[in-house]
Amino acid sequence: MPEPLTDKMTAFLNEVFPAVIALKRPNGSIQVIPVWFEYRDGYFWLNSATSRRWPQHLQKAGEVEMLLLDPKDMFRWLKVRGRLVETTTKGAAEHIDRLSLRYTGNPKYQSYQPGEQRITLKVEPVRVSPSWGSWE
């Protein structure tokens, strides 16, 4: 079961800003990148192209650290330790279009590469650590 979040945390996650994720690479080094996300049904939903390295690293490691930082107030953030519970290419093109609408206002993702296959990654929040502010 995903770790439950307070109503304030859930409202925060429905705001539009990228997540910064940290993944362990096979050589032990850490990869840190910004990604679009959607928080829905108690899970974080991420999307990428199957050819990119970060989804491969997440699939191999099975876990991710995420920093969700308010772009207007750097002292308002959530740190999430997540566990990958599912990946799929089915519906992934529609999912990136939904993320495009959320982040850019455009209902069609504009950065497809020829022959690109999209993948959706479902992440369960295992531990959520809030900033010192009130999240109740």
Gyration radius of the chain's alpha carbons: 15
Query: What are the backbone angles phi and psi of residue 94, rounded to the nearest 5°?
Result: -70, -35
What pLDDT is recorded for position 2? 66
Q: What is the Cα–Cα distance from 120 to 136, expressed in whole angstroms?
A: 30
Q: Which two tokens stand for residue 40?
A: 């829905």
What pLDDT is recorded for position 93? 95
What would be the CATH architecture of the domain defined by 7-127?
Roll (2.30)
pLDDT of 115 strictly over 90: no
Q: Which two tokens stand for residue 112?
A: 């497809």
What pLDDT is recorded for position 134? 65
pLDDT of 110 strictly over 80: yes
Q: pLDDT tens digits for 55-109? A: 999 999 999 999 999 999 999 999 999 999 999 999 999 999 999 999 999 999 9
Q: What is the Cα–Cα distance from 60 to 27, expressed in whole angstroms?
A: 12
